[in-house]
Structure 1
Amino acid sequence: MKLAFSSNAYLKHPFDETAARIAAIGYEGLELLADVPHAWPAGLLEGPKRAIREAMAANNLAFSNINAFMMNAVADHRQPYWHPSFIEPDPNYARVRIDHTRRALDLCAELGAPHVTTEPGGPIPPGVSRARAVDRFVEALKPLAEHAEGLGVLLLIEPEPELLLERTDQYVEIHERVGSKALGLNFDVGHAFCMSEDLPKAIAELAHLTKHYHLEDIAATRVHHHLVPGDGVIDFAEVVSAIKATGYDGWLTVELYPFQDDPDDAARRAFEALSPLVR
Structure 2
Amino acid sequence: MKWSYSSNAYMRFSLEETARRIAAIGFQGLELLADVPHAWPAGLLPQTAAAIRGIIESSGLAIANINAFMMNAVADPRQPYWHPSWIEPSAEYRAIRREHTKRAIELAAALGAPGLQTEPGGPIPPGYSRRHALQIFYDELMPCVEIAERRNVNLLIEPEPDLLIEHPEQYLEFAERVGSPRLGLNFDIGHFFCVGEEPARWVPLLASHTRHYHIEDIPPDRRHSHLVPGRGAIDLAAVLRAICETGYQGWITVELYPYIDQPDEAGAEALAYLKRLSAETPA
CA–CA distance in structure 1, aligned partners of residues 200 and 183 of structure 2:
23
CA–CA distance in structure 2, aligned partners of residues 257 and 57 of structure 1:
23
Superposition deviation, residue 49 in structure 1 = 2.1
Partner of 1:45: 45
Partner of 1:122: 122
Counterpart amino acid of 1:224? H
| Other structure's SS at 1:30 match | strand
Counterpart amino acid of 1:257? Y
Superposition deviation, residue 277 in structure 1 = 3.4
Counterpart amino acid of 1:24? A
CA–CA distance in structure 2, aligned partners of residues 37 and 46 of structure 1:
17
Structure 2 unaligned spans of 5+: none
Task: String of CA shifts for 1:148-176, please: whole Å, max 9, x gaps.
Answer: 00001110000000000011221011111
Q: Does 1:18 align with 2:29?
A: no
Residues 3 and 251 in structure 2, CA contact (< 8 A), matched pair in contact too: yes
What percent identity do the matched residue pairs reach?
58
Residues 50 and 111 in structure 2, CA contact (< 8 A), matched pair in contact too: no
Partner of 1:155: 155
| Other structure's SS at 2:73 match | coil
| Other structure's SS at 1:41 match | coil
CA–CA distance in structure 1, aligned partners of residues 130 and 19 of structure 2:
40
CA–CA distance in structure 2, aligned partners of residues 276 and 169 of structure 1:
32
Counterpart amino acid of 1:36? V
Partner of 1:56: 56
Partner of 2:102: 102
Superposition RMSD in Å: 1.0
Superposition deviation, residue 138 in structure 1 = 1.1
CA–CA distance in structure 1, aligned partners of residues 60 and 277 of structure 2:
22
Structure 1 unaligned spans of 5+: none
Q: Does 1:178 align with 2:168?
A: no
TM-score by length of 2: 0.96
Partner of 1:226: 226
Q: Does 1:210 align with 2:213?
A: no
Task: String of CA shifts for 1:1-38, please: whole Å, max 9, x gaps.
Answer: 20000000000000011001001111000000000000
Partner of 1:65: 65
CA–CA distance in structure 2, aligned partners of residues 46 and 103 of structure 1:
12
Partner of 2:140: 140
Counterpart amino acid of 2:221? T
Larger deviation: 219-228 or 201-210?
201-210
Superposition deviation, residue 245 in structure 1 = 0.8
CA–CA distance in structure 1, aligned partners of residues 45 and 247 of structure 2:
39
CA–CA distance in structure 1, aligned partners of residues 277 and 51 of structure 2:
33
Number of residue pairs matched by the alignment: 279
Superposition deviation, residue 47 in structure 1 = 4.0
Counterpart amino acid of 2:37? P
Partner of 2:35: 35
